[in-house]
Amino acid sequence: MNLDEQVALLTRGSAGITPQGGLEQKLKRSSETGKPLKVKLGLDPTAPDIHLGFAVVLRKLRQFQDLGHQVILIIGDYTALIGDPSGRSATRPMLTDEQIAQNGATYVDQLSTILDREKTQVRFNGEWLGKLSFAEVVRLSARMTVAQVLERDDFQKRYRAGEPIGLHELLYPLAQAYDSVAIEADIEMGGQDQMFNILAGRGLQKELGQEPQVGFFMPLLVGLDGEKKMSKSLGNYVGVQDVPNEMFGKLMSIPDTALATYFELTTDVPMDEIKALLAAAEQGEVNPKDVKKRLAREVITIYHSAQAAAEADAHFESVYSRKEAPSEIPEAAFAAVDAKDGKVWICKLLASVGLSKGTGDARRTVLQGGAKLNGERISDPNLELALTDLDGAVLQVGSRHFVRVRTT
């Protein structure tokens, strides 16, 4: 690729690059000298399950690798002792050394599903931060002012609200910035929520006589709700290790308004093709459902295979479009001792096999027409079923949740 083609590839979907023109300058110099760029990503090893939102940044790193550059992952074993205060309204709990080591190892395994492991260097920032003396930390601290740190919105809000801010939290951006100095990073990747920390790295490099890194920011992918950012804690995520059928079903649930963003950030479909596809859907020439199915197939092909994508599509069509039961249904046991006079109350049964949170929730589900037994809708919340008829029966709640009952 020539320089313009490289820039076009790398800037697809980006939310901002600082300074303007900095990426082009770095790429040009790399081409002239034959020296690959060092592209850094800092990771806090507190949430090792990778979802499509986090994969947005990882896929961009893979593009840098494919262009011949070096990706350096900084596992923040030392900064995790502090806890990144970004976007937090309270002090985060510190992790133990054992938790950090376990999470870091899990990260490396999962990252290899996207990155080229042979072209990925993994470093733990305890290598250099753990060697700094207290005097050296003080000297580094002199390179950053309290006013700079307190510019962060999260700190300002907590300060105005009278909420405590630990002194150690003020050291977090300094420690992360020093990571860039230690590895002499050319580019640092991150989400928009990491802008302060990444710009702090530029500033510290300049203070210490290094050429400042380029800040490369990727947008935060909205979750399946189409509103809040994708997060495992919010339950609105698609894990890169989700099985194909589950991945397909989740992606079919995103709102139409999120389709453009998902196509751009989670697939390799050319932008011209994406625009044409979405325009056809908007004009009624293509069903939005078919556009979502295309999205789901593209994503599953990336993390599994084209065959897995086709099979997941067929599974979704049979289960959710034609309302057929899936071929593989999880089983749940119901103990005979919990039956009364050989009969089981339907709401108790739904709660016992995990299809509702409790009998009250089950009653609401039945009254709303959301429960079925062997494909037949249940309309009476007071229904009692004979225990002898239950073994092997299929219970269903909504369109996606099935359980085969086994009596014990």
**Averaged pLDDT, 209-213:** 96
In percent, the amount of the chain with pLDDT more than 90 equals: 44
Q: Output the pLDDT for position 327.
A: 64
**Cα atoms in the 13 Å half-sphere on the side-chain side of 15:** 16
Comparing CA positions, the residue from 189, 209, 181, 178 lying closest to residue 39 is 189
Q: Which helix (H) or strand (E) holds 123?
A: strand 120-124
| Cβ-contact 369, 377 below 8 angstroms | yes
Say if residue 253's pLDDT is above 50: yes
What pLDDT, in 10s, does the model give residues 62-94? 999 999 999 999 988 887 777 655 555 455 566
What pLDDT, in 10s, does the model give residues 289-312? 999 999 999 999 999 999 999 999
Say if residue 184's pLDDT is above 90: yes
Q: What angle do CA 277, 267, 63 make, to 5 degrees?
A: 135
Q: Does domain 331-407 have CATH number 3.10.290.10?
A: yes
**Averaged pLDDT, 170-196:** 91
Instruction: Provide the CA 191 distance to its chain's centre, in angstroms.
Output: 11
Q: Output the pLDDT for position 16.
A: 93
**Averaged pLDDT, 312-316:** 90
**Can you tell me the distance from the alpha carbon of 313 to that of 307, in angstroms, rounded to the nearest whole number?**
10
Q: Output the pLDDT for position 14.
A: 94
- For the domain covering 244-321, report its CATH number: 1.10.240.10
Q: Output the pLDDT for position 342.
A: 84
What is residue 317's DSSP assignment? I
Instruction: Provide the CA 353 distance to its chain's centre, in angstroms.
Output: 30
**Averaged pLDDT, 197-208:** 92
What pLDDT, in 10s, does the model give residues 259-276? 999 999 999 999 999 999
**Can you tell me the distance from the alpha carbon of 188 to that of 183, in angstroms, rounded to the nearest whole number?**
11
Confidence class for position 248, pLDDT limits 50, 70, 90: very high
Poorest-pLDDT segment among 15-24, 88-97, 102-111, 157-166: 88-97
Q: Output the pLDDT for position 93.
A: 62
Q: Output the pLDDT for position 233.
A: 74
What pLDDT, in 10s, does the model give residues 27-61? 999 999 999 999 999 987 765 568 999 999 999 99
Residues of the chain with CATH 3.10.290.10: 331-407
Higher pLDDT: 319 or 212? It is: 212
In percent, the amount of the chain with pLDDT more than 70 equals: 93
Residues of the chain with CATH 1.10.240.10: 244-321
Instruction: Provide the CA 332 distance to its chain's centre, in angstroms.
Output: 30
| Cβ-contact 192, 15 below 8 angstroms | yes
Query: How many Å from the N-terminal Cα to the C-terminal Cα in the chain?
Result: 65
Q: Output the pLDDT for position 15.
A: 93
Q: Output the pLDDT for position 89.
A: 47
Confidence class for position 107, pLDDT limits 50, 70, 90: confident
Say if residue 100's pLDDT is above 80: no
Assigned token pair, 310: 């086709």
Q: Output the pLDDT for position 297.
A: 97
Say if residue 323's pLDDT is above 70: no
**Cα atoms in the 13 Å half-sphere on the side-chain side of 236:** 15
Residues of the chain with CATH 3.40.50.620: 3-218
Q: Output the pLDDT for position 94.
A: 65
Q: Output the pLDDT for position 311.
A: 94
Say if residue 136's pLDDT is above 90: yes
- The CATH superfamily of 3-218 is HUPs (3.40.50.620)
Say if residue 277's pLDDT is above 80: yes
Q: Is the peptide bond before 288 cis (omega within 30 degrees of 0)?
A: no
What pLDDT, in 10s, does the model give residues 336-370? 777 888 889 999 999 988 898 888 889 988 988 88
Q: Output the pLDDT for position 379.
A: 86
